[in-house]
Amino acid sequence: MGVVDDFRRTVLEKDVPAILATLSPDITFHSPVMPKPYRSRAAVAPLLTALAEVFEDFAYTAEFDGHSTEAVRPDVGSPRHALQFTATVDGKSITGMDVLATGDDGLISEVTVLVRPLTAAHSLARLVGRRMAEA
């Protein structure tokens, strides 16, 4: 079982410590609602806790994997995996994707989260922001 499988399983279990164990210590996490990425496990931990609390009926619905080609992006050569998901946030249906990059250490080195529609993204930002402020 690879790190992407471990990530998927632990996200579905909402097991934040186990999710963190799949991430590189110097993880870069791009949130759909924050202009700057979170960097490091310590910075990502409260965010993952908040997400586990606000996402309801979370399910992965598709998976895509591949490699970035040097011709397209020479700075992004690590394997990429994308996990499409659905969930409910504050009564609104949301569709999203976790785009994962793995590093030389075999752990996830980068996560980029994309979500739609905009109304659900606004609810997500509001609820996660509130929980992050309380943490």
Give the Cα separation of 123 and 125 in Å (integer). 5
Q: 3-134 — its CATH code?
A: 3.10.450.50
Q: What pLDDT score does 75 carry?
A: 55
Domain parsing of the chain, residue ranges? 3-134
Tell me how many degrees the CA angle 11-12-17 measures, rounded to the nearest 5: 40
Do the beta carbons of residue 108 and residue 23 sit within 8 Å?
yes
Q: Which of 44-53, 61-70, 96-105, 113-122 has the lowest mean pLDDT?
A: 61-70
Q: What pLDDT score does 97 carry?
A: 96
* Per-residue pLDDT tens over the stretch 54-108: 999 999 999 998 655 544 455 555 678 999 999 999 999 999 999 999 988 999 9
Q: What pLDDT score does 71 carry?
A: 44
Q: What pLDDT score does 34 carry?
A: 83
User: Is residue 47 scored above 80 in pLDDT?
Assistant: yes
* Per-residue pLDDT tens over the stretch 11-38: 999 999 999 999 999 999 999 888 899 9
Q: What pLDDT score does 72 carry?
A: 47
Q: What pLDDT score does 120 carry?
A: 92
Give the Cα separation of 19 and 10 in Å (integer). 5
Q: What are the E-state strand segments in the chain? A: 23-30, 38-39, 56-67, 79-89, 92-102, 108-116
Q: What pLDDT score does 33 carry?
A: 83
**Cα dihedral 86, 17, 68, 36 sign:** positive
How would you label 69-90 residue by residue, b for 16+ Cβ within 10 Å and e otherwise?
eeeeeeeeeeebbbbebebebe
The two structure tokens encoding residue 105: 């250490």
